[in-house]
Amino acid sequence: MSVATELSRSTLAAEADGRRIPWPHKRNLAHSTWIRHAADAADASSAVAGPSTTMTLEERMATIASVGEEINSAERLEELLGRKAKPRCYDGFEPSGRMHIAQGILKAINVNKLTSSGCEFVFWVADWFALLNNKMGGDLKRIRVVGKYMIEVWKACGMDMTNVKFLWCADSINERPDEYWRMVMDIARSFTISRIKRCGQIMGRSEGDDQPASQIFYPAMQAADIFFLGADICQLGMDQRKVNMLAIDYANKIGVPPPVVVSHHMIMGLTGEKMSKSDPNSAIFMEDDTAAIRKKIKAAFCEIGNIEKNPVLEYCKYIIYPAGVVLTIDGEEFATYDAVEAAFLDGSLHPGALKPAVADAIDSLVEPVRQHFRKDPVARELLKKVQSFKVTK
């Protein structure tokens, strides 16, 4: 039995849309030439770099699988790891305001897992996308400030930067505009308006929202990013799965290998609903002080015995324990998250006892970031500016 077959039987390796995407046969299509150039360049870079991990294939598969709530697909991931020494992963982020803990600590945990598995990770600083989505009121200068601030957070929160790159969208596209915009146009003409509009969730908007015309540009551009960057693995949240499926379908249409999609879990807000930057009580932010963290966790939704909808338990499962922190509550050490969940489910662990321990654990993870923004003058000035900006949807 192959590693991929074993993984595909677990929830971590579930197919993203319940169907298997076949490995396509390459065709000599003229309009896919520029995509091959990007992929070939990335392959060459990886070949020169050589292996960057001592893990076995099984260990690499398991580590990468632990990042994803869904993987599309485990078979293609195994094939990729078998043929490429240093696969390129990517995530794009809109500079849109202060960074919450899921963007900060959780992202650092996931990136570290991928780079320890021999991958290179590229952050696509999506300044033009933030402009399209009216973040920071559409002020590109402010968007750039926020992007620099977010990079400073990741540097301070435990992310291993050895195999991490930050590429600015506007700068990179302006270096190769003909290649990029031909790709965007080809993707746009390959799908219907209806299919493109279904990807609107990636902009943080629902179908009922008053949609700007940029909704048409955004998904085609985001799909193009994957091929423009030569990405082998798309490591984004579950909220981005529709555009990643669009990219897979496009790759199959033109006969190039589709990306592997590793979609991480979206942590719910502390209120029990969606996490939102516009609601400061829905999340812990990366520079929150100790008092703010304790106040937010104390007020968080944490119904007795409820393990299905419980943001406090989610912080334990996806942030605290993966970061290597072990909770001790009323003198009892809980060595694993499963032990915490079991005790909470049987009633022996009360929310009143769990919450202070979670608050202290989160505070310890955020403290290095607070120290960085206190001590580093450049980081301190960036934070001051970001805090003065109005967050716009």
For the chain, give the percent of residues with pLDDT over 90.
Answer: 75
Estimate to the nearest angstrom the gap between the alpha carbon of 328 and the chain centroid: 29
Distance CA 332, CA 41 (A): 53
Full-model pTM: 0.85
Pick from 218, 233, 263: which residue ends a domain? 263
CATH of the domain at 333: 1.10.240.10
What is the CATH number for 45? 3.40.50.620
CA dihedral 65, 71, 73, 79 (to 10 degrees): -30
pLDDT at 101 over 80: yes
Whether 273 maps to a domain, the answer reads no
pLDDT of residue 148 exceeding 90: yes
| DSSP secondary structure code for residue 34 in this structure | H
Residue 213 lies in a domain: yes
Domain that holds residue 126: 3-263
Q: Does the residue 42 lie in any domain? A: yes
The type of residue at 268 is: M
CA distance 288 to 286: 6
* DSSP SS3 for 1: coil
Q: What distance in Å separates the CA atoms of residue 277 and residue 262, rounded to the nearest whole number?
A: 24
Give the number of other Cβ atoms within 10 Å of residue 242's Cβ: 18
Tell me if 269 is assigned to some domain: no
> Which of 209, 229, 263 is the last residue before a domain boundary?
263
Q: Which helix (H) or strand (E) holds 233?
A: strand 233-234
Collapsing DSSP states into helix, strand and coil, what is residue 135? helix
Whether the Cβ atoms of residue 349 and residue 343 lie closer than 8 Å to each other: yes
- The residues, any chain, with a CB within 8 Å of residue 306's CB and separated by 6 or more, are none
Residues 101 and 183 in one domain: yes
Q: What pLDDT, in 10s, does the model give residues 206-251?
A: 555 567 787 888 999 999 999 999 999 999 999 999 999 999 999 9
Asked if residue 110 is part of any domain, the answer here is yes
Q: Please, are residues 256 and 35 in contact by the beta-carbon 8 Å criterion?
A: yes
Helix (H, G, I), strand (E, B) or coil at 360: helix
Say what percent of the chain tops pLDDT 70: 84
Tokens read off for 253: 């249409």
366 within 8 A of 293, measured Cβ to Cβ: yes
Interacting residues of 342 by C-beta distance below 8 A, sequence separation 6+: none
Tens digit of each residue's pLDDT (9 = 90 or more) over 16-72? 333 222 222 233 334 444 454 454 444 444 433 444 678 999 999 999 999 999 999
Whether the Cβ atoms of residue 230 and residue 119 lie closer than 8 Å to each other: no
* Domain boundary pick from 263, 294, 311: 263
Domain count, the chain: 2
Q: Which of 80-89, 152-161, 205-214, 338-347 has the lowest mean pLDDT?
A: 205-214
Q: In the predicted model, what is the mean pLDDT of residues 335-355?
A: 97
> Are 157 and 86 in the same domain?
yes
Q: Same structural domain for residues 289 and 221? A: no
